């Protein structure tokens, strides 16, 4: 009986909770299903005496038709006094006014009760704004979550300006420093892109498609492709721009590291390698910007707040104009670690004699994979590796080479640039050695966009003498 009684009580409690929940849902439904839900957004705005000036600019820009449609929107509406005090430059320019008003209408429903974390929302003008609870951009929502038949009205305490994005600032704002701007605009190129390519044939040797001229490339800016596309409105960035004097100082600092055959190419390569670290896909507010920012390429960018000349907020981030951005070569130029199994080619096809081995390094306590070429029967057999973007610096060379397949040592060497290079002599590979071995130094006298290094076997056809074994090769800048 006692068990049955507990069961009956449980059912009664559950029914009570269910009815309570239903009542709460009904109350919430009734809260937003009053007479206002019979009106669309535009009618709600027109009928609100505090918003009649906002209704006027909606009609002027044509957005009144949007807000009378069956689509759903959130309108961040301005009271009459805010519209009256608008910048005359915006108020009297139809294009600017449309962009401004479109920056107050979002494409979906955004309730202050639902948007409880920073959320980037798209507006009708193509821009995005950050909303979090009762804040949208720099504006506060003073009268929240007013439902209409096709959306929500949020009444705000100030206008939300339709700012230019970071790229617009670079290209069109007179405050953008001239020298860095000129260089960034010089980076427009035709880049191979077969997305819309028209195939007119097949290459008889390679089998690759032949495209109709002009259809296999796009005209684009290298900064968009290789760093960040600063014109994207759905993302946010911090862009650093240097005053002309600071930009020139960085060019002078880095010119020796990018020596080429011509002055123009030296200038181009130097400028690119300075510039590529100057944008990140994170917004750093002036009040909280750290003293070091890490670039996309892992370079430490030191931030001296006293060197910030101007701070410009944009629709997709922030731009800092700096009188100094003293990036150290030690942070820009990092070691190259070449994993031996990731080679580009070999002097002879000896795939049957090539092994990729999984091993454990007792010194580091980590697993690793290395390369072993054994019993290939070729004197001076070699394996080629390619390095990209190699500055004109002095380097120290190391390798880890595990000789554990035989009881005798062998020799192999690292060559720089070509297999005939004599930069390094043959080095004996001792038995069962897991530590890095220092091979020596070499100097790159010129910058190389693509550079070859080789592992070369002994000048012998004997298996025990001419094997190649390597975990990795490391080239460390001497700065």
Q: Name the more confident of 218 and 86.
A: 86
Question: Taking all residues of the chain, what is their mean pLDDT, rounded to a whole number?
Answer: 90
Nearest to 58 by CA among 100, 114, 3: 100
Please state the rounded mean pLDDT for residues 45-70: 96
Could you tell me the pLDDT band of residue 8, with boundaries at 50, 70 and 90?
Answer: very low
Given a cut of 90, whether residue 196 has pLDDT beyond it is no
- Please count the other Cβ atoms lying within 10 Å of the Cβ belonging to residue 318: 20
Please state the rounded mean pLDDT for residues 82-100: 96
- Measured at the alpha carbon of residue 186, what is the angle toward residues 183 and 189, in degrees to the nearest 5? 145
pLDDT tens for each residue of 408-448: 999 999 999 999 999 999 999 999 999 999 999 999 999 99
Q: Where are the beta strands (DSSP E) in 23-165?
A: 73-78, 105-106, 119-122, 128-132, 135-136, 139-148, 151-156
- What is the pLDDT, as a whole number, of residue 26? 40
pLDDT tens for each residue of 153-165: 999 999 999 999 9
Please state the rounded mean pLDDT for residues 35-53: 91
Superfamily of the domain at 35-156: FAS1 domain (2.30.180.10)
The rounded percent of the chain whose pLDDT value lies above 70 is 88
Residues of the chain with CATH 2.60.120.260: 336-477
Could you tell me the pLDDT band of residue 71, with boundaries at 50, 70 and 90?
Answer: very high
- Measured at the alpha carbon of residue 181, what is the angle toward residues 179 and 186, in degrees to the nearest 5? 95
The rounded percent of the chain whose pLDDT value lies above 90 is 84
Q: Are 414 and 399 a contacting pair, CB within 8 Å?
A: yes
Given a cut of 70, whether residue 214 has pLDDT beyond it is no
**Domain 166-328 CATH assignment equals 2.30.180:** yes
Name 83's Cβ contacts closer than 8 Å, sequence gap at least 6: 53, 54, 56, 57
Could you tell me the pLDDT band of residue 246, with boundaries at 50, 70 and 90?
Answer: very high
pLDDT tens for each residue of 139-151: 999 999 999 999 9
Given a cut of 50, whether residue 15 has pLDDT beyond it is no
User: Counting Cβ atoms within 10 Å, is residue 140 exposed (0-12), middle (13-18) or buried (19+)?
Assistant: middle
Given a cut of 50, whether residue 116 has pLDDT beyond it is yes
Nearest to 266 by CA among 449, 136, 32: 449
Long-range CB pairs of 185-189 (<8 Å, 24+ gap) are 185/221, 186/268, 187/221, 187/222, 187/223, 187/272, 188/219, 188/220, 188/221, 188/222, 189/219, 189/220, 189/221, 189/222
- Please count the other Cβ atoms lying within 10 Å of the Cβ belonging to residue 254: 19
Please state the rounded mean pLDDT for residues 335-344: 97
Q: Name the more confident of 288 and 179.
A: 179
pTM: 0.83
Please state the rounded mean pLDDT for residues 349-363: 96
Residues of the chain with CATH 2.30.180.10: 35-156
Q: How far lies 280's CA from each of 165, 291, 296, in Å?
A: 14, 15, 6
Q: Are 67 and 41 a contacting pair, CB within 8 Å?
A: yes
The CATH architecture assigned to 336-477 reads Sandwich (2.60)
- What is the pLDDT, as a whole number, of residue 189? 82
């Amino acid at each position: 009986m006692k068990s049955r009684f507990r069961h009956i009580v449980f059912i009664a409690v559950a029914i009570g909770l269910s009815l309570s929940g239903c009542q709460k849902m009904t109350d919430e439904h009734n809260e937003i299903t009053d007479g206002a839900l019979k009106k669309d957004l535009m009618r709600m705005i027109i009928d609100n005496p505090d918003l009649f000036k906002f209704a006027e600019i909606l009609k002027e820009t044509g957005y009144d038709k949007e807000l009378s449609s069956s689509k759903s929107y959130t309108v961040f509406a301005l009271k009459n006094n805010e519209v009256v005090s608008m910048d005359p430059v915006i108020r009297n320019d139809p294009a600017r006014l449309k962009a401004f008003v479109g920056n107050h209408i979002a494409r979906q429903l955004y309730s202050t009760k639902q948007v409880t974390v920073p959320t980037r929302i798209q507006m009708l003008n193509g821009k995005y704004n950050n909303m979090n609870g009762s804040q949208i951009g720099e504006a506060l929502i003073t009268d929240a979550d007013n439902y209409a038949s096709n959306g929500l009205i949020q009444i705000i305490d100030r206008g939300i300006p339709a700012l230019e994005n970071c790229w617009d600032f670079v290209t069109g704002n007179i405050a953008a420093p001239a020298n860095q701007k000129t260089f960034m605009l010089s980076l427009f190129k035709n880049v191979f892109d077969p997305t819309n390519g028209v195939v007119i044939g097949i290459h008889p040797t390679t089998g690759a498609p032949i495209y109709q001229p002009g259809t296999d490339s796009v005209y684009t800016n290298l900064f968009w492709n290789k760093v960040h596309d600063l014109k994207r409105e759905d993302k946010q960035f911090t862009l650093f721009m240097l005053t002309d004097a600071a930009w020139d100082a960085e060019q002078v600092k880095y010119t020796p590291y990018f020596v080429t055959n011509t002055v123009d190419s030296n200038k181009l390569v130097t400028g690119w390698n300075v510039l590529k670290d100057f944008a990140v896909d994170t917004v750093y507010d002036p009040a909280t910007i750290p003293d070091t920012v890490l670039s996309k390429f892992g370079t430490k960018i030191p931030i001296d707040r006293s060197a910030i000349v101007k701070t410009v907020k944009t629709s997709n981030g922030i731009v800092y104009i700096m009188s100094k951005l003293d990036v150290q070569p030690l942070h820009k130029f990092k070691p190259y670690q070449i994993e031996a199994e990731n080679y580009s080619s070999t002097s002879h096809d000896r795939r049957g004699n090539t092994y990729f081995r999984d091993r454990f390094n007792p010194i580091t306590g980590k697993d690793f994979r290395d390369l072993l070429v054994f019993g290939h029967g070729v004197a001076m057999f070699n394996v080629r590796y390619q390095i990209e973007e190699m500055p004109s610096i002095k380097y120290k060379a190391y390798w880890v080479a595990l000789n554990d397949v035989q009881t005798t040592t062998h020799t192999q060497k690292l060559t720089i640039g070509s297999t005939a290079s004599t930069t390094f002599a043959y080095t004996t590979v001792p038995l069962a050695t897991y530590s890095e071995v220092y091979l020596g130094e070499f100097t790159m006298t010129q910058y190389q966009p693509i550079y070859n290094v080789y592992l070369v076997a002994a000048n012998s056809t004997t298996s025990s003498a001419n094997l190649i074994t390597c975990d990795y090769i490391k080239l460390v800048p001497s700065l």
